[in-house]
Structure 1
Amino acid sequence: MNYDKDPEFAEILGSCLDDPQKARSKVRFFIKR
Structure 2
Amino acid sequence: MSRRLNPEAQRCVEEYLQAIPYPVERRPLLIPEL
Q: Give TM class, smaller chain.
A: 0.3 to 0.5
Rg larger in structure: 2
From the two aligned structures, give the one with the greater helix fraction: 1
Larger RCO, structure (CA 8 Å, separation 6 or more): 2
TM-score normalised per structure 2: 0.41
